[in-house]
Amino acid sequence: MKIELHIDPNVAPEHADVYVQALTPPLQTALDQLGQVDQQWWGYQDKQIIPLDLRHLSLIRASDDTVTAYRVGGGPVQLRERLYQLEAALPSNFIRVSKGEIVNGDSIDHLSVGLNGLINIAMQDGQVAMVSRRYMRSLKERLGL
């Protein structure tokens, strides 16, 4: 792949143009990282405000009027954003699996199929998400199943 970098302090706004034959997973990861350069996520736990590293989030769950992010090895934190806002801003490795849950595809431990035919997702931190029928097809496509 040929890469050209032009540094010009007068360019506003900064942008990147990418020409490819196909969008591959490594390229998507690189594009996601470019898009996340200026974005910082914050979570609220007790009386603390905690910076979040998206790589260490396993699951984001909405219930009642709260949105909770579960961190691998760090416990849950509350988020102020709504689930649909997060879905639009999160990188491509985050997958919507139900009306109230988004999982980090990189933190999936394993999938299991229940007696009712629904898929349960076990995350590396022990959390479990259930895939609703509405999102089952897109999950299978995203995971290559």
CB-based contact 89:126 (threshold 8 Å): no
Q: Given the structure tokens 């690189």, which residue do they identify?
A: 30
Helix H, strand E, coil C: the string for 93-132 is CEEEEECCEEEEHHHEEEEEECCCCCEEEEECCCCEEECC
pLDDT surpasses 80 at 4: no
The mean pLDDT value for 21-34 works out to 77
Which CATH topology does 39-143 take?
A: OB fold (Dihydrolipoamide Acetyltransferase, E2P) (2.40.50)
Question: Percent of the chain scored above 90 by pLDDT?
Answer: 34
Tokens encoding 98: 């139900």
For the chain, what are the domain ranges? 39-143
Please state, in angstroms and rounded to a whole number, the distance separating the CA atoms of residues 69 and 11.
Answer: 36
Which of helix, strand or coil describes residue 72? coil
CA distances (Å), origin 140, targets 27, 74, 144:
20, 28, 6
- Greater confidence, 5 or 79? 79
pLDDT digits (tens, 9 = 90+) for 97-144: 999 999 999 899 999 988 888 899 999 888 899 999 999 988 888 888
The mean pLDDT value for 79-102 works out to 90
pLDDT digits (tens, 9 = 90+) for 67-76: 999 998 888 9
Tokens encoding 129: 């998400």
pLDDT digits (tens, 9 = 90+) for 18-27: 888 888 877 8
Residue 104 β-bridge partners: 94
Which of helix, strand or coil describes residue 142? helix
pLDDT of residue 38: 53
